[in-house]
Chain A
Amino acid sequence: MTRPEVKLEIRNLSVRFPPLTSGGRASCAVRGMSISISRGEVHALVGESGSGKSVTARSILRLDSADTGVEIRGEVLYDGSDIYHLREDELRSLRGDRIAMVFQEPTRYLNPSLRIGEQIGEVIEAHMERKPAQVRARVMTLLDEVGLPSRVARQYPHQLSGGMSQRVMIAMALTCEPDFLIADEPTTSLDVTIQKQILALLARLRVQYGMGVLFISHDLAVVESIAQRISVMYAGRIVESGGTGEILASPLHPYTQALIGAVPEAGRRGSRLVVIPGRPPDSRNIPPGCAFHPRCPLAGEVCSRVDPEMRSYGGQVPHTAACHMIRAGATSS
């Protein structure tokens, strides 16, 4: 089971949603993004809301059914083979087994009328041959693993707090000891103390199970504590990627710089909150050239015409960024 070399790679992923009205524009939620996650590492995907992070997460396992009209292009390589070429049943046996997911609002992502024990147990039944008694035993082990008492198995979601529900979601995700966990803003809907507990839990389980985690968040402070790598997403594309330390210490892309500048610092009461001027672009109407140029303090003439390409700027973990205005020869230390 331990195959540390297994990778989850997303290559040139594009996701388009059809227009809501007949005269409307299609929404390009993701526009050719690439990211790779190795087992045992936490790779954070960071960006404002509407940048396409959640759509990316849902698209990896193709969770939006085809009748929504969604168009997904690109490749998602798991262990070297493209999971977009899998048949529906092959994909299903991958979901929840090798690649599991945890969502933002656990209370809405749990079925209100099924007991927790069944909601965890059915993952085991879907992927492994187990007798009912073994399923029950495994459910208890999993609940214990995420720090929940065994009585939770008999309870319904509405009887649990948000933090407990998220622990249940994590237990469900861990059921088959997946290679990869996609966690879509797993702590956003929780209050701060619970956030810390869930993060600590995820960090511990990542080590214990050797999982690779795609950790999606808009919160750099949260990301800093858990991720080894950060990729910054803007308007459906990765604009900068690199090791957590390098990204936070010497960000290259003006958007990353603005994001870091906007993190409120504890202990600096009374100082103004820094905000990024303007709003993220509407995915139905993305500016030409560099999508960030209307909000960018450094934008020059070329930025509104030419879409910048990803370039490499050295670094221990490859540090890449897509911006015309990074001065030549800039490398991260």
Chain B
Amino acid sequence: MFFLLRRIGRLILTVLMVASLVFIIVRVIPGDPALVIAGVDAKPADIVAIRAKLGTDRPLSVQYGDWLWHLVRLDFGTSFSSGESVSHLILDRFPLTMSLALFGFLIAVVVAVPLGVVSAVRRWSAVDYTVMAYTQIGLAIPAFWLGIILLLFFSVWLHLFPLFGSGGFSHLVLPSIALGVGRSALLIRIVRGAMIEELQRDYITTARAKGLAESRIVLRHALPNALFPVLTVAGIQFGYLLGGAIIIEQVFSLPGIGRLLLQAISARDFPLIQGGVIFVAIVFSLVNFAVDVLYSVANPKVRVR
């Protein structure tokens, strides 16, 4: 119970810090939303009127207080440019970004666990070196570059996948792969390291002495124990995937949170930028929170009875 309260407290603190930071950043970058809305031929009086309407003419401290006050009530305000509710705009786009991150994560895990295990079991073999080479390359390649190459290869040349736009699962395949490869590279190394460590533990000697098959020793004895450290890292990786999804949306012209945020930034749509960033921060925190809970449920040593 105490554990839960402490984690919730930390979550709230994180969100408040992100809220303050994003508030400052959007106001530090040059550009006035009123100018953007009014257009090039606007008269000074119009601009003043627009500022008053948007509320950007008020002192910063008042705007800040206002922002936090609304945030506490989960009210992200209305978009400067469209006049729509920010939360509505975000929730509309979020499923796409979330599915991208989820599929990317799924690909990363599905690739990383078997390869990491094989690499650890056949350490210093040709298989291990190949897998290690893959992780080296996977870590070095930026997701957006891989995205472009995948597009070129599978969509432009082979016509296997749609070139851009959203609509179905087929639109998510290439961007998810582009996202997943880098994360899988990192996870492979963690799985491999954790497996090597577990395979040297004394309980593995017992398992051998009991005459168990090597497959059972690896999969039933070593792997579950090796996955505990992997689980923690995987949670953080998911956060990176959310961030990566925002970028990869540009490459694949997918209308997710990333596109929304980019448009918001070019229009200096303060509430939308703030809302979008806060929203991603909350999701990231919630995922890590969930991972912590999962960890304590899965690990009998942590679980309190």
Residues on A with C-beta less than 8 A from B216 are 122, 126
B225 touching A96, Cβ below 8 Å: no
A92 touching B211, Cβ below 8 Å: yes
Question: B43 within 8 Å of A by Cβ?
Answer: no
Residue of A with least CB distance to B210: A96
B213 touching A92, Cβ below 8 Å: yes
Complex Cα spacing A63 to B205, Å: 7
Residue of B with least CB distance to A91: B211
B213 touching A113, Cβ below 8 Å: no
Query: Interface digits, B186-217 against A, CB 8 Å rule (1 contact, 0 not)?
Result: 00000000000000011101111111110010
Query: Interface digits, A41-84 against B, CB 8 Å rule (1 contact, 0 not)?
Result: 00000000000000000100101000100000000000000000
Given contacts A111-B221, A113-B300, A126-B212, list 5 more A-B pairs with CB under 8 A: A63-B208, A100-B210, A109-B202, A110-B206, A111-B207
Contact partner, B211, options A58, A67, A126, Cβ 8 Å: A126
B203 touching A109, Cβ below 8 Å: yes
Residues on A with C-beta less than 8 A from B123 are 67
A11–chain B nearest beta-carbon distance, Å: 21
Residues on A with C-beta less than 8 A from B205 are 58, 63, 103, 109
A223–chain B nearest beta-carbon distance, Å: 22
Question: B63 within 8 Å of A by Cβ?
Answer: no
B211 touching A123, Cβ below 8 Å: yes
B211 touching A127, Cβ below 8 Å: yes
Complex Cα spacing A108 to B124, Å: 27
Question: B224 within 8 Å of A by Cβ?
Answer: yes
A94 touching B211, Cβ below 8 Å: yes
Residues on A with C-beta less than 8 A from B299 are 113
Known: A114-B221, A158-B300, A158-B301. Is A103-B211 also a contact (CB below 8 A)? Answer: no
Contact partner, B210, options A67, A123, A156, Cβ 8 Å: A123
Question: A105 within 8 Å of B by Cβ?
Answer: yes
Query: Interface digits, A93-134 against B, CB 8 Å rule (1 contact, 0 not)?
Result: 111110011010100111111100000001100110000000
B221 touching A93, Cβ below 8 Å: no
B224 touching A97, Cβ below 8 Å: no
A254–chain B nearest beta-carbon distance, Å: 35
B300 touching A103, Cβ below 8 Å: no
Contact partner, A96, options B124, B209, B221, B224, Cβ 8 Å: B209
Q: 6 shortest A-B CB distances, which residue pairs?
A: A96-B211, A95-B211, A96-B210, A101-B209, A156-B300, A111-B203
A-to-B contact residues, CB < 8 Å: 58, 61, 63, 67, 92-97, 100-101, 103, 105, 108-114, 122-123, 126-127, 156, 158, 169, 172
Residues on B with C-beta less than 8 A from A103 are 202, 205-206, 209
Complex Cα spacing A126 to B210, Å: 8
A93–chain B nearest beta-carbon distance, Å: 6
Residues on B with C-beta less than 8 A from A110 are 203, 206
Residues on A with C-beta less than 8 A from B207 are 111
Residues of chain B from 261 to 305 with CB closer than 8 A to chain A in the complex: 299-301
Residues on A with C-beta less than 8 A from B201 are 108
B34–chain A nearest beta-carbon distance, Å: 60
A93, A100, A111, A172 pick with most chain B CB within 10 angstroms: A111
B46–chain A nearest beta-carbon distance, Å: 68
**Residue contacts A-B, CB under 8 angstroms, 29 given:** A58-B205, A61-B209, A63-B208, A67-B123, A67-B124, A95-B208, A95-B209, A97-B211, A100-B209, A100-B210, A103-B209, A108-B203, A109-B205, A110-B203, A110-B206, A111-B203, A111-B206, A111-B207, A112-B203, A113-B224, A113-B299, A122-B216, A122-B220, A123-B211, A126-B210, A156-B300, A156-B301, A169-B206, A172-B210
B220–chain A nearest beta-carbon distance, Å: 8
Complex Cα spacing A234 to B123, Å: 35
Residues on A with C-beta less than 8 A from B124 are 67
Complex Cα spacing A172 to B220, Å: 17
Residues on B with C-beta less than 8 A from A112 are 203, 225, 300-301
Complex Cα spacing A63 to B207, Å: 10
A109 touching B212, Cβ below 8 Å: no
Residues on B with C-beta less than 8 A from A111 are 203, 206-207, 221, 225
Residue of B with least CB distance to A123: B210
Complex Cα spacing A110 to B123, Å: 24
Residues on A with C-beta less than 8 A from B211 are 92-97, 123, 126-127
A12–chain B nearest beta-carbon distance, Å: 23
Contact partner, A113, options B202, B208, B301, Cβ 8 Å: B301
Complex Cα spacing A103 to B202, Å: 9
Residues on B with C-beta less than 8 A from A100 are 209-210
Residue of A with least CB distance to B123: A67
Residue of B with least CB distance to A115: B300
A92, A158, A169 pick with most chain B CB within 10 angstroms: A92
